[in-house]
Structure 1
Amino acid sequence: MTDPRAPENAHARPAAEILAALDASPSGLTGAEAAARLARHGPNSLPGARPRPAILRFLAQFNNALIYFMLAGAAAALALSHYVDAGVILAVVIVNAVVGFLQEGKAESALNAIRGMIAPRASVLRDGRRVSVAVADLVPGDVVLIEAGDRVPADLRLIAARSLLIDEAVLTGESVATSKSTDPVTQGAPLGDRRSMAFSGTLVAAGQGSGVVTATGRATEIGHISALLRQVETLTTPLLRQINAFARRFTILAFVGAAAVFAFAVALRGYAWDDALMAVVALAVGLVPEGLPAVITITLAIGVQRMAARRAVIRRLPAVETLGATSIICSDKTGTLTRNEMTVRRVVTADGVTLVEGAGYDPTGHGFAPDPVARDLLRAGLLCNDAELHPGGWTVEGDPMEGALIAAAIKAGLDPAAERAGGRLDAIPFDAEHRFMATLHDTGGGRILLVKGAPERILAMCAHQAAAAGPQPLDAALWTDRIAQTAREGERVLGYAMKPMPAGTARIGFPDVQDGLTFLGITGFIDPPRPEAIEAIAECRRAGIEVRMITGDHAETAAAIARQLGLASDPQVLTGQDLDRISDADFAAAVARTQVFARTSPEHKLRIVRALQSRGNVVAMTGDGVNDAPSLKQADVGIAMGIKGTEAAKEAAEIVLMDDNFASIVAAVREGRTVHDNIRKVIAWTLPTNGGEALTVITAILLNFALPMTPVQILWVNLILAATLGLVLAFEPTEPGVMARPPRKAQAGLLTPFMVWRIGFVSVMFMAISLAVFFWALSQGRDIEAARTMVVNTLVVLEIFYLFNVRYLHMTSFTLTGVKGTGPVLAAIAVVAAGQLAFTYLPVMHRIFESRPLGLADGIAIIAIGALSLVVLEIEKHLLRDRFGGE
């Protein structure tokens, strides 16, 4: 295989020499040659992280304080020759480890799939045309186009650079972006001084350029340190850390409590020390919720998969938790709340207004005849333009507004190929700081400077305006009124200007655009709101979630779109200039009562997010550009656009929307609330069921009567329930009305006052019922083995019926849907029922667990007790949930 890193020392040799060495040209490779080179060099990708051996991943499941406690109990049982007890304890531990092992493998697969979903693409020249290809398909000799916000996809020898700054911190550690040029540097220049190169993995901070690929994959500079860059996604989240800390505290409490009960049983109740030790081991093992961290992790992973199905890809698992608490969504407008199908609706010159028909990028069937000034304006929009409009499906490669300008020019009878035949001589790329783009062209009749950008900025650089009768002095007041009027129609506005340049001019700079420009006019673009975004905003209102629009558009444009979206009937609007005039003391209050922020800078977005957070809000922020990265990182949940988002935005975000649709954000919030609900259900079921078992044994020891369950029977209950009922709540669907509730408070704990009450109430109720069944059976003349068998079956049936109660924390369980259950619930109950039938009737189980067969009447009575307990718990839920704040 040919070395894809050749030629050597590309940074020290002229660009033309490198192109020749790679048998390439500035217009790029042909498609056939690119395919042949891809076959020779292989894909432009780094090798994935070496997976841990399965045996190590399995053993890692035992690295948990609760598991250590369980293993210590098994060791104690073995030391006392209680082999059955030790075997059951180990079975519980192994079941938990297997569940965790399978879940981890599933989570790794999901994360690998996520990485594939958000794999970047690159703009290259192939067959002389700009096309978008997967980064993995780049080959040496490809000519790649880069601009602000892009991640450099391979090592490039620059052949063109304009105001190009690249952040190379990932390679050099330098925090200041490096200015790039096409001039060679010395052969021995260190990596940070190779200004003629752009290295794979670095970020384009400003400007634009192009370069020929000199190295791909592991042959790139970043390939040599890829081990540092292959960051492993971690499943540890704040919630899981909280659960693990709870597990450690619970283990200590269980150990201390077990020691106290052991001392009490031996010293005051006359238990033999080995019997007391086994009873206490079983008690502690029954009390400790050893599978809770694994089940919660599974719940989070299921939430990630459900969100992915709704086109919201979770890059960092903590976002799953945070989404459920989101109280404010700050959203970009274009493409997220709107269709991102820009159309030039009107062309405004000094001589009048021309309305343009049609929608989207298809220019066919909507031709019109513009006046001469309007024609010059559309030609300026066509030439001062980096986009490509591809026929067939009429798709745009590049900025949607620039694509709309090409479509409008074609409607006006202009031929893009003919108009662009003279080529572009130089350009000042658009930047958020100066808010315009300028290009230099040779039109055949002379050289001309064309400028396109924010109309207020363009007006400030002009002294004249074009008209059919010839240039006129600029009427700034007239244009300010026309811009505002166009914006009030909900249209986005761009301004255009031109300036003849001296013959032979080959370069342009900022001084060239400061004076002598003639204003051509403006165009108004319409980008209609997405119908699903309108409904999604209404759903946000019902869910108590506020929506803020933060956009770079003109204030009137933003307000018009906000009204169409139903954001507010009379939206409050603040511009970037307004924000600059507000004092720090008043800033948060002003932001809180504002729905629309227009003409904002990255600094403004950052201040807005911080101000909202300072008032206790959980803020989700959407963005697509490099200028959004600071606010995306600051937000509680950063949401990047998967289609038009830059790599900088995606890396700063926790979530990537694969369809750039606001409705997908709301769907993800719904799933986030479901995940949080299901985690609370898992805890609400696990702790009181374990507590009921423990209290039953403790009461027997304290009051000095025979244990209602033997240690091995307690372990059987844990074993049969650990991988069945304890797991199915992770799969629960969304509760009705989940989006009708207000967001939970950011700092609210999982154990709400109602849940604390519920844990205590259910634990005591299960204990009371178990003891009542035990003593009733003894009073009927049953032997103690039969009585204990009834207690075990009663406890399992109680936990089954309690599961149906816990499935709905915010509403009654007495509905047809609630009674029917779900597939996982019914499957788990079937497994538990089969296990209990075996426990009760199989002779081998009688020998292991000292159980006895029961009559049909006993079974009916036990089921009736379970059903009655469900009625009691439903009444308790109805009476007390609202008293404890609806939780």
Structure 2
Amino acid sequence: MTGEPIDISKSREKDPWVLSGTSISEGSGKALIIAVGSRSQWGVILKTLIVEPSDTPLQERLERLVLLIGNFGIGAAVLTFLASMIRWIADSAKSGKWDGTLVLEFLINAVTIVVVAIPEGLPLAITLGLAFAMRKMMADQNLVRRLEACETMGSATQLNADKTGTLTQNRMTVTACWLGGKVCEQVPPPSVSETFSDTLCQSMAVNSDANLSYKDNGTVEHLGSKTECALLQLVEQMQPPTDDTQTYIKLREKFPVAQLYHFTSARKRMSTAISNGSGTRLHVKGASEIVVKLCTKMMSADGKVSSLTTPMLKEAEAAIEAFARQGLRTLCIAYTDLGKSPSSLGETPPESDLTLLGIMGIKDPIRPETAEAVRLLRGAGVTVRMVTGDNAITAEAIAREAGILEDGDDGLVLEGPDFRKMSDAEKEAIAMRIRVLARSSPSDKLVLCNLQRKLGEVVAVTGDGTNDAPALKDADVGFALGIAGTEIAKEACDIVILDDNIKSMAKAVLWGRNVYQSIRKFLQFQLVVNVVAVSLNLIAAIAGIKELPLAAVPLLWVNMIMDSMGALALATEPPSPELMKRKPFGRTAPLINKHMWRNIIGVSVYQLTVCMVFMFDGKRLLDIPCKYVAASGSVAAHYDCHHQTLELNGFIFNAFVFMQVFSEINSRRIADVNVFANIHNSPIFCGIIALTVGVQVLFIQAVGGTVVGPAIGFVEQNTKEWITAIILGVIILPVGVVTRLLPLKWFPGITDEESNARAMAEGHARVAAAQARVTSEAKDVAISMPSMDRRASMERRGLAGITEKVVGSRLSSRQSRLSDVSDSSAPIRREKSFKVFAHAVIAANRLQQKPGASK
């Protein structure tokens, strides 16, 4: 249920409760079901996952944009209809002929404008982009369970990652130990007595639930806790088996477990009682800094037991810290002999007066690709922080090895108990400073995630246990570990990391940004189509042109091929590595930035100018004559000048489509000049461009040459008109180059850099507000509490002063980044630093008290 690979023994007398959703490793029995569904523990956890779905950052932006475009389209349609009606009324009154069918035509044109203006291809572009990214991410070991998570990951600014299995290999090995008062760099230790070896191996073998499985190829598979497996491997090294049965199995058979006290996050240790003939021996292992304080004796390497003196205790504590600084997880191994029988032991183990056997330094090497993945994420503007159950010193060493902490960082290393003591304001003030949260619990991860989201960040979280489910669900993007993760964790997450590797998360960021960028490309392309088509027909209606240059059917044709084909072409382009060199889009960045407005306006002006020139003077420029119609029966020979209008409208329609074809190519890049970069890696894009051109040629020539063509507003084109239309389309490319060279200050909107600066300033304001609340709360406590209560309260809340110092450093850091002044001198603070500062705050507060202030 918890996700920890530790068996829990059940008995009818002491612990008869069995939880649904857990696995039974051995044994059999009958159970009476007393709670099902939402009343079961499984159901209680699942109920916490039922939350109201919220819009992603992209969905929020798209809703605002679609509303704006829709209003523009409706307004243009109404104006076009009114202009046509006014002209019709004036002409009808003058001629005395009122043709009501024209009103229906005006209404159809207005409705068509609305249809064209609203980018109904946008949902298709989003779905295609997400589906394409989802399929490609599967190859990068990302199983996407919720499509929206793809694009949300592109906006992620924070990644709270587990250490074990994600940053590290989860292949633990004992690499150093402190035995008998000496540090042993060689493992197994070469010079220990048989008595010491037997006692140590007995403790490591029986006080464990794990197992080793040896494969035919010689490799060892760890079954259960990886930490315990490392100790079992040390047993096999110290006392190699003499037959096919492994040593630790023989020891377990020789000393069966009489009572087992499992590891808990509160106790931080595990104990096992066995019968040793004369009584009971209780073996204890757990967090070194906790278990070593329970010891009063120690066994030396020669097997003799003596008192644990204060100097020797300090040596043990120094060894613990030294191992931790090397990034080793430390475990203290101890035991005590009890006179009573195992059956007389209660529910609480008598873990006192222990004999210290040794301290094991266990190495869990980081993955070879971890440092590079962290570097990529940092370069992409994503802050990576480690959330782990290890102590602060070990966690800091691993964080430095992984690149999460670097010299000059203003990050903070904090332990869970200290974090939980803080008030909400204190937590909010330092939430963004934390780089390593050690000795943490799943609830700490959830609180940290909520704080970051409250500060406007887009947060991604990793988790593997059932208790991680609320944090996975609450985060903007939840990553569950595919190998080590529980089913509830996978159910709660958005993306399953199949290989439990942080490198796969970096790939998810890349694909997420590509989805966002693809949608931006499509919007840039689509808005040009909409602006030009709607504006052209509106101007034609106001100018009194009876037959609009883009009639209803051609407009719907453009809408179909440009929306659908454009969405498919631009949404399936592979990502560029350059996307990982830019900052995240964040939660507040505009969907259309200043670069896009520049491209939209520049290309739209060119297209609209071309269409207007040919709309007003195209018959002369193209030398289109009235069509000669020979005599037939009672109809005399004459010139049909209406055919001239149809041919001109056909040319405008054809030129408009070809301009969109090359505008689609121009939209492959937003800020870069080279729009052909890596186009050979986009076969779908190239194929769609060719298909669009082929369909357009077929439509103009096949349909325009029949009686259907004139009925829907155009006729077939001659060679001169084809060449001219294609040339006008090709000119889009140099126009795009020139447009990108224009100064950005001439255009509306803001750049992504300006948006990031605004977000940083807003974060600065939020942190400043949190700091003000912390200061206010500290003053209120100092004024209102009596002297003894004040001291207790300040000890309880002593971190307020620390928070104030941390916040001050963060404010100056934010200000320096906004003014391009580097300030990276703030040191890394650990648990000891917190205690020193806390006592300093208490002392300063007492010195500042006036006489009688505490009465």
Residues 379/863 of structure 1: CA separation in 2 closer, same or farther (3 Å cut): farther
Q: CA RMSD in A?
A: 3.7
Pick from 471, 482, 487: which aligns with 2:306? 471
- Does the CA contact (< 8 Å) of 1:237 and 1:317 recur in 2? no
- Does the CA contact (< 8 Å) of 1:446 and 1:501 recur in 2? yes
Name 2:172's counterpart in structure 1.
342
Pick from 648, 654, 660: which aligns with 1:799? 660
Alignment of 1:8-23 (within 5 A): none
Of residues 283-292 and 501-510 in structure 1, the stretch that sits farther from structure 2 once superposed is: 501-510
Instruction: Tell me the secondary structure at the aligned position of residue 369 of structure 2.
Output: helix
Following superposition, the deviation at residue 379 of structure 1 comes to 2.7
Name 1:842's counterpart in structure 2.
702
Query: Is 1:449 aligned to 2:449, yes or no?
Result: no
Name 1:864's counterpart in structure 2.
727
Of residues 372-381 and 450-459 in structure 1, the stretch that sits farther from structure 2 once superposed is: 372-381
- Does the CA contact (< 8 Å) of 1:657 and 1:664 recur in 2? yes
**Residue identity in the other structure for 2:199:** D
Name 2:553's counterpart in structure 1.
712
Pick from 541, 546, 552: which aligns with 2:378? 541
Residues 211/604 of structure 1: CA separation in 2 closer, same or farther (3 Å cut): same
Query: Is 1:784 aligned to 2:645, yes or no?
Result: yes
Q: Output the CA distance in 2 between the equivalents of 1:485 and 1:561.
A: 13
- Does the CA contact (< 8 Å) of 2:124 and 2:567 recur in 1? no
**Residue identity in the other structure for 1:619:** V
Following superposition, the deviation at residue 677 of structure 1 comes to 0.8
**Residue identity in the other structure for 1:390:** S
- Does the CA contact (< 8 Å) of 1:199 and 1:221 recur in 2? no
Instruction: Tell me the secondary structure at the aligned position of residue 750 of structure 1.
Output: coil
Following superposition, the deviation at residue 787 of structure 1 comes to 1.5
Pick from 304, 311, 317: which aligns with 2:147? 317
Instruction: Tell me the secondary structure at the aligned position of residue 534 of structure 1.
Output: helix
- Does the CA contact (< 8 Å) of 2:286 and 2:332 recur in 1? yes
Q: Output the CA distance in 2 between the equivalents of 1:665 and 1:512.
A: 43
Following superposition, the deviation at residue 481 of structure 1 comes to 1.0
- Does the CA contact (< 8 Å) of 1:695 and 1:764 recur in 2? no
Of residues 378-387 and 588-597 in structure 1, the stretch that sits farther from structure 2 once superposed is: 588-597
Residues 740/589 of structure 1: CA separation in 2 closer, same or farther (3 Å cut): same
Deviations 1:163-210 (A, max 9, x none): xxxxxxxxxxxxxxxxxx6369xxxxxxxxxx9564644x79xxx996
- Does the CA contact (< 8 Å) of 2:58 and 2:152 recur in 1? no
Q: Output the CA distance in 1 between the equivalents of 2:191 and 2:237.
A: 8
Pick from 231, 242, 251: which aligns with 1:405? 231
Instruction: Tell me the secondary structure at the aligned position of residue 129 of structure 2.
Output: helix
Following superposition, the deviation at residue 723 of structure 1 comes to 2.8
What's the TM-score, normalizing by structure 1?
A: 0.71
- Does the CA contact (< 8 Å) of 1:674 and 1:738 recur in 2? yes
Deviations 1:123-177 (A, max 9, x none): xxxxxxxxxxxxxxxxxxxxxxxx533799xxxxxx9755xxxxxxxxxxxxxxx
Task: Indicate the structure (1 or 2) with the bigger Cα radius of gyration.
Answer: 2
Of residues 840-849 and 279-288 in structure 1, the stretch that sits farther from structure 2 once superposed is: 840-849
Instruction: Tell me the secondary structure at the aligned position of residue 873 of structure 1.
Output: helix
**Residue identity in the other structure for 1:472:** S
- Does the CA contact (< 8 Å) of 1:328 and 1:547 recur in 2? yes
| Overall identity of the aligned pairs, in % | 30
**Residue identity in the other structure for 1:647:** E
- Does the CA contact (< 8 Å) of 2:261 and 2:272 recur in 1? yes
Residues 736/766 of structure 1: CA separation in 2 closer, same or farther (3 Å cut): farther
**Residue identity in the other structure for 2:717:** L
**Residue identity in the other structure for 1:596:** V
Count of equivalent residues: 691
- Does the CA contact (< 8 Å) of 1:235 and 1:317 recur in 2? no
Alignment of 1:271-310 (within 5 A): 272-310=102-140
Q: Output the CA distance in 2 between the equivalents of 1:800 and 1:212.
A: 70
Name 2:590's counterpart in structure 1.
749
Alignment of 1:518-557 (within 5 A): 518-557=355-394
Alignment of 1:160-179 (within 5 A): 161=9
**Residue identity in the other structure for 1:397:** L
Q: Output the CA distance in 2 between the equivalents of 1:278 and 1:634.
A: 48
- Does the CA contact (< 8 Å) of 2:69 and 2:117 recur in 1? no
Pick from 81, 84, 93: which aligns with 1:265? 84
Q: Output the CA distance in 2 between the equivalents of 1:325 and 1:830.
A: 33
Pick from 653, 658, 661: which aligns with 2:501? 661
Instruction: Tell me the secondary structure at the aligned position of residue 305 of structure 2.
Output: coil
Name 1:50's counterpart in structure 2.
none
**Residue identity in the other structure for 1:833:** V
- Does the CA contact (< 8 Å) of 1:331 and 1:548 recur in 2? yes
Name 1:876's counterpart in structure 2.
739
Following superposition, the deviation at residue 863 of structure 1 comes to 2.2
- Does the CA contact (< 8 Å) of 1:682 and 1:730 recur in 2? yes
What's the TM-score, normalizing by structure 2?
A: 0.73
Residues 420/772 of structure 1: CA separation in 2 closer, same or farther (3 Å cut): same
Q: Output the CA distance in 1 between the equivalents of 2:160 and 2:722.
A: 57
Residues 326/232 of structure 1: CA separation in 2 closer, same or farther (3 Å cut): closer
Residues 292/591 of structure 1: CA separation in 2 closer, same or farther (3 Å cut): closer
Alignment of 1:152-301 (within 5 A): 161=9, 182=12, 198=18, 200-201=20-21, 212=28, 239-240=58-59, 243=62, 247=66, 250-251=69-70, 254-255=73-74, 257-270=76-89, 272-301=102-131
Residues 276/591 of structure 1: CA separation in 2 closer, same or farther (3 Å cut): closer
Following superposition, the deviation at residue 223 of structure 1 comes to 15
- Does the CA contact (< 8 Å) of 2:2 and 2:466 recur in 1? yes
Pick from 635, 643, 650: which aligns with 2:490? 650
Instruction: Tell me the secondary structure at the aligned position of residue 426 of structure 1.
Output: strand
**Residue identity in the other structure for 1:384:** N
**Residue identity in the other structure for 2:518:** N
- Does the CA contact (< 8 Å) of 2:295 and 2:308 recur in 1? no
Following superposition, the deviation at residue 410 of structure 1 comes to 0.3
Instruction: Tell me the secondary structure at the aligned position of residue 597 of structure 1.
Output: strand
Q: Output the CA distance in 2 between the equivalents of 1:634 and 1:699.
A: 51
Following superposition, the deviation at residue 244 of structure 1 comes to 5.8
Deviations 1:511-537 (A, max 9, x none): 433423222221001112212111111
Residues 612/809 of structure 1: CA separation in 2 closer, same or farther (3 Å cut): same
Q: Output the CA distance in 2 between the equivalents of 1:823 and 1:234.
A: 37
Residues 739/455 of structure 1: CA separation in 2 closer, same or farther (3 Å cut): same
Name 1:378's counterpart in structure 2.
201
